Amino acid sequence: MNNKLKNKKNTTNKNLRLITLKKSNKKIAKIRIANTFFSRLMGLMLKKNAKVPLLFEIPERINKKERSSIHSFFMRFEIIIVFIDKSNGVFEIAELKPWKCHIPKKPAKYIVEFDKREFNDCLKIGDEIEIK
């Protein structure tokens, strides 16, 4: 196999993780990780859909309520946003139409963006999650 293709395959899989419920170990979703400035900046903008949700890791140095805010500018579909605190507990879930903003009640450690059509109420406020 060509080294270039092999490296691309490894890079793609490296950013895929799994969200599970902590108590039941129930698999919630495969997710992509946005842990760089550019990947957080782009998010799901300009995409037609999001079959795989996107998890934003919020750096501690910017972990303030306002810095956990999220927008849906340049989005082509509605999203469900799940805010997760530093103890990996879901503390807020918001629905966002294109061209809107949302500021959570408190700072988030992680934010997960789901395509509204793919969400299916898989997470609830109070759920504790693990990222594997």
Regarding pTM above 0.85, the answer is: no
CA 109 – CA 64 distance, rounded (Å): 10
For residues 96-114, average pLDDT: 89
pLDDT in tens, 39-66: 666 666 656 666 778 888 887 766 555 5
In a domain, residue 97? The reply is yes
Name the 3-class secondary structure at 82: strand
Q: What is the CATH number of the domain that holds 25?
A: 2.60.120.1140
The answer to whether residue 52 sits within a structural domain is yes
Q: In whole angstroms, how far apart are CA 30 and each of 83, 112, 129, 131?
A: 17, 11, 13, 10
Share of the chain above pLDDT 70, in %: 67
Q: Does 28 map to a domain?
A: yes
Q: Which 8-state DSSP code applies to residue 66?
A: G
Instruction: Say how many domains are in the chain.
Output: 1
Residue 86 to residue 11: CA distance in whole angstroms: 27
Q: Over 70: is that where the pLDDT of 15 sits?
A: no
Flag whether 5 is in a domain.
Answer: no
Domain that holds residue 115: 16-131
